[in-house]
Amino acid sequence: MTEIRLKKGEPVEKALRRLKKKIDREGTLKVVRNHRHFEKPSERKRRKMKAARFSAMLSARYADL
């Protein structure tokens, strides 16, 4: 469970912004969105392979720099 403490005199909007950033950094929201529907193992494998190809392409592109 992600939680933040309100600092003395801190506006709620600022604390909410800190909470959103913390949730985003932890990847909690991404996990929740991925669990909204069932993903077949073949789909999961295909998605991970696509991400791996993309990161490999980026690393190859910027390896010369």
Q: Write down the pTM of the prediction.
A: 0.57
Cα pseudo-dihedral 48, 45, 40, 29, rounded to 10: -20
- State pLDDT tens for residues 23-65: 999 999 989 998 999 999 999 999 999 999 999 999 999 997 7
Please report the pLDDT score of residue 1 as a whole number. 83
Closest CA relative to residue 23, chosen from 7, 48, 4: 4
Place of tokens 């490999």: 56
Q: pLDDT band at 21, cuts 50/70/90?
A: very high
Output the six-digit token pair for 7: 């600092």
- CB proximity list for 15: less than 8 A, separation 6 or greater: 4, 6, 7
